[in-house]
Amino acid sequence: MSLTERVPGGSRPGRITVVGNPGLDTLVLLAEDDPDLAADGHFVRNVDTVGHAAAFTARAAARLGHDTRILGSTGADVIGGLVRGVLAADGVDTALMFDDPAGTARSVNFVRPDGRRTFFYDGGSHMTIHPPQHLIEAALTGADLVLASLPNWARDVVARARALGIPVAVDLQDVRDPTDPYRADFIASADFVFASAAHLEDPVAAAAAWLAAGPASMVVLGMGARGAMVVQRGADGPVVTAQPPPELDLPIVDTTGAGDSLATGFLDGLLFAGLPVAGALHRGQVLARIVASDLGGAAPFDRTRLDSLATR
């Protein structure tokens, strides 16, 4: 079954399975770009929010009206209960979540005055745990799209989704080496690849390598202040659709989750709203800007607000 047959269009909601571990972000709001970390202490504002790629994509998809469920782990701890509660409050089905004995994933993010951030991630035991097989099968049953981040256990899930003919989107996140072997299995299963270009020396060449290495029809790259681009296969080489950032009267407060929102908005536009690539890329960028306008993805939005801002 082809991708266009498998995924509904015409602005109808889809059934999206998000694969990955949500967790807690502690945002350390810095008063300066480069504080002296050798100093004994600093006076800052610290904010705890529910985050990580799986949470941002799942919450965004649910807010946009999609039937969204998440296959991921949290610990049997207070933070895990908080994370699951926030996801459920946004309309995400958390029935397929499983326990991580090492506890809920956490990240401490240094957020600079201009919204840029540096994170310190603790992924629990994602390298060694595996979701029960019956949860994997339940997560994929009836799915129109699988949207995955990079916990180690997820490589088996995206491979299973591909074998079942379910469209797969994978976010390679902040990749530095285009040939990183950890990401190879994810690329091999993906119909759509997303990545940050922040640390790629030649983003178009990296995208072309991923297209050559797997079945993906396109690679979407977030480029921060330079906007975003889509790279597709062409008869004479890569075909690039590049856009500057959208002109919106929104502040940039915290870029945590912006790349995840770019991916969710793009897929929503391309697969479920029937937009062309350029329109879907613009839609993804607008959603990323909305999310970056408040701390930890707290900016309110729904399909109506996104439609309004994307069509201005």
Tokens of 42: 């600093």
Is the entire prediction scored with pTM above 0.85? yes
Residue whose C-alpha is closest to residue 239's, from 216, 208, 199: 208
**Local confidence pLDDT in tens for the 312 residues of the chain:** 445 444 544 467 899 999 999 999 898 988 888 887 788 888 889 999 998 999 999 999 999 999 999 999 999 999 999 999 999 999 999 999 999 999 999 999 888 888 787 888 888 888 899 999 999 999 999 999 999 999 999 999 999 999 999 999 999 998 999 999 999 999 999 999 999 998 899 999 999 999 999 999 999 999 988 999 999 998 888 999 999 999 999 998 888 889 999 999 999 999 999 999 999 999 999 999 999 999 877 888 999 999 999 987
Rounded-to-integer distance, Cα 272 and Cα 62, Å: 13
What is the per-residue burial (b if ≥16 Cβ within 10 Å, else e) of 137-154? eebbeebbbbbbbbbebb
The answer to whether the beta carbons of residues 206 and 185 sit under 8 Å apart is: no
User: What distance in Å separates the CA atoms of residue 279 and residue 117, rounded to the nearest whole number?
Assistant: 28
CA 299/CA 106 separation, integer angstroms = 21
Beta bridge partners of 111: 29, 117
CB 280 within 8 A of CB 266: yes
Residue 56: name the closest of 301, 287, 261, 269 by CA: 261
Q: For 168-247, where are the alpha helices, taking DSSP H only? A: 184-189, 203-213
pLDDT value of residue 114: 82
What region does 102 belong to: left with phi over 0, alpha with psi -120 to 50, or beta?
alpha
Is 46 within 8 Å of 22 (Cβ atoms)?
A: no
Q: What pLDDT sits at residue 9?
A: 46
- Tokens (6 digits) for 240: 């690039």
Alpha helices, DSSP H only, in 65-196? 78-89, 133-140, 154-163, 184-189
Query: Given this model, what pLDDT does residue 228 score?
Result: 97
Largest separation between any pair of C-alpha atoms in the chain: 60
Per-residue pLDDT at 1: 40
Domains of the chain from N-terminus onward = 13-22+51-106+125-310 (3.40.1190.20)
CA dihedral of residues 56, 11, 157, 218 (deg, nearest 10): -90
The pLDDT assigned to 168 comes to: 98
Sorted by sequence, the CB contacts under 8 Å of residue 230 that are 6+ apart come out as: 218, 219, 220, 221, 240, 241, 242, 277, 281
The Cα-based distances of 13 to 7, 192, 299 in angstroms read 10, 19, 22
Q: CA distances (Å), 40 to each of 37, 43, 46, in order? A: 8, 11, 17
Are 108 and 119 in contact by the 8 Å Cβ rule? The answer is yes
